[in-house]
Amino acid sequence: MSDFLLRSWGQVGFETTYQAMQDFTAARQADTPDELWLCEHPPVFTLGLAGQDTHLLAPGDIPVLATNRGGQVTFHGPGQVVAYPLVDLKRSGYFVKEYVHRIEEAVLKTLLHFNVTGHRVAGAPGIYVRTLDPHNHSPLPQRPQKAAANTTPDFTGLAKIAALGVKVSRHCTYHGVALNVHMDLSPFERINPCGYAGLQTTDLFTMGVDVSWQEAADVLSHKLVTYLSP
């Protein structure tokens, strides 16, 4: 296990956490321990660096905040475990692509803990589930494969259960991953999630898993610390 400092903030405003992540990353030194922050946010839409307003269909009364993470638009709200790994990649010894892969692996193992099978989709970071058969282990035809570069993502029969967006500054990461546990999913209908029109989203509860936010957070944090260790 890595020497992560684990911090659970409860429900906290996105802007507060965003500023705190930037401050932490700017101030950290070569010997600063890595940290893993867990929280949930009040309802908010966040835009990545590539975010386009055209993917905001009807934000209504939910605030929209621009960020410096990768990716397009997503929604954060109560009932979602948001995990922010603050990792020194230079010290850890792996690059951004592997870092993203390790985060996704931690989410896959978290879902497996709750008897749900998660999947990767070629060209679309994050984790997806088969909506009609969430326990099906058979590989997706649209999974990432070496020969399938520049594939247009195929979400047939799938819904997104975890979204991922990262920022790296001076070899150090912030932002992270959001796992939908038991939340109001309707705000996702006000956007094109992650920039994909018609992409369905889901949560553990909809997939038949009724667990508390804390239990899901405990499992996810354990898996993240395990898979992000050097």
List residues with catalytic annotation.
194
d(CA 38, CA 23): 17
* Neighbouring residues of 34: CB distance < 8 A, sequence distance ≥ 6: 2, 3, 4, 5, 85, 86, 87, 88, 91, 92, 228
Partnered with residue 66 across adjacent β-strands are: 47
Contact 157, 134 (CB under 8 A): no
> How many CB atoms are closer than 10 A to CB 229?
14
Pick the closest to residue 99 from 109, 88, 110, 108 (CA basis).
88
> How many CB atoms are closer than 10 A to CB 113?
16
Q: Can you read off the two tokens belonging to residue 98?
A: 């592997």
In 3-state terms the chain splits into helix, strand, coil percentages (rounded to 5) of: 25, 30, 45
